Structure 1
Amino acid sequence: MKKILLTLGLSTMSLFTALACTAHASENNSEAQAQTETTETPAAAPAAEASAIRHIDAAYLRANIYDYKENPNKFVFKGSRPAIIDFYADWCGPCRSLAPKLEAAAKKYAGKVDVYKVNVDNEAELAQIFGVRSIPMVLFIPMKGTPIQTVGDLTADQIEETIAQIYKAK
């Protein structure tokens, strides 16, 4: 009798799990379809809903921010305004906690500071070049001078203070 109840209980739990996953997948498919429809129509979603942070790779970084192959011993910034680079991983809890704070800063300083993200799992070369040993690691880059490197989940105030420092270095 206990075996039957246990089997029924496990079967019921499996069924609910499957239904929850299916419902979640249906929601994701509906959202994906809605996003596709939105981007295909002339009245696209407002820019405020889009991320203000650009995900970049090594090629973009070398072409637009710092060519570490051309200047391996000296940081020569190629950008047109101060920048922030967040080195992160999708599985990292502190990285996920930091993300909305950086997104808010990117929106607040849009057109004044460029904010980028580098996934260290996908860009191991960049993680090595920048000496990323712990994540999140955020690099605040002034127009001139040495970038400021921080490690860990920063507070919104710490982000604001460091942005102020890179502005002073103009």
Structure 2
Amino acid sequence: MKKILVFVLLFSGLLLAGSCSGTGKNKEVAQNSTEQAINEKVLVKPLSQTEFLQKVSDYASNPDDWKYLGDKPCVIDFYATWCGPCRQMSPIIEELAGELEGKVIFYKVDVDQEPELAGAFGIQSIPTFALCPMEGEPHFMMGAMDKSAFKEAIEKYLLK
């Protein structure tokens, strides 16, 4: 009986010692990841409904009159984290945000986190992209596409 108790205590001690050393390493990795994220520029900004009303258009106060509030045209990616085509488009959007930095603002709206915002624009299929020019109504595009087609649309609707 004593041998079993000693064995259990030794085994428990080994488990605790192993998990403690892993935790320190994980903290270091997490700290490095956080520092790296702070140093990296966010090219595609997440957008809540409140931020949308302040930065893009106050559709709640003016439902019949679209007025873009930004100082540069923007692309809004309506997506969901579980959506395969949305994940396929994510690196393309990041690349274009880098290439068009200073000319076009890129936002993303998680439709699961912001269902009211998605509903206000009738988003029923994802990914859906709203291309918002400085003047005029936004142009909506649905579905995954290749980078060149997406860039061509941005140039046509936002950078003419």
TM-score (norm 1): 0.74
Query: Which position in structure 1 is the counterpart of 2:159?
Result: 167
Q: Are 1:51 and 1:103, in contact at CA under 8 Å, matched by a contact in 2?
A: no
1:32 aligns with 2:30: yes
Distance 1:37 1:143, change over 3 A: closer
Query: Which position in structure 1 is the counterpart of 2:16?
Result: none
1:111 aligns with 2:102: yes
Aligned AA (2:159): Y
Aligned AA (2:43): A
Q: Distance in 1 between matches of 2:81 and 2:140?
A: 20
* Equivalent position SS for 1:77: coil
Residue 47 of structure 2, aligned match among 56, 62, 72: 56
Report the aligned-residue RMSD.
Answer: 2.2
1:85 aligns with 2:110: no
Q: Distance in 1 between matches of 2:78 and 2:85?
A: 12
Distance 1:37 1:117, change over 3 A: closer
* Aligned residues with identical type, % of pairs: 36
> Size of the alignment, in residue pairs?
138
Q: Distance in 1 between matches of 2:89 and 2:62?
A: 30
**Structure 1 runs, 4 residues or longer, greater than 2 Å off:** 25-31, 35-39
Instruction: Give runs of aligned pairs for residues 8-157 of structure 1, distance below 5 A.
Output: 30-37=28-35, 45=39, 47=40, 50-157=41-148
Task: State the Cα distance separating 1:116 from its structure 2 match.
Answer: 0.2
* Equivalent position SS for 2:66: coil
Identify unmatched segments of 5+ residues in structure 1. 1-21
Q: Distance in 2 between matches of 1:28 and 1:89?
A: 28
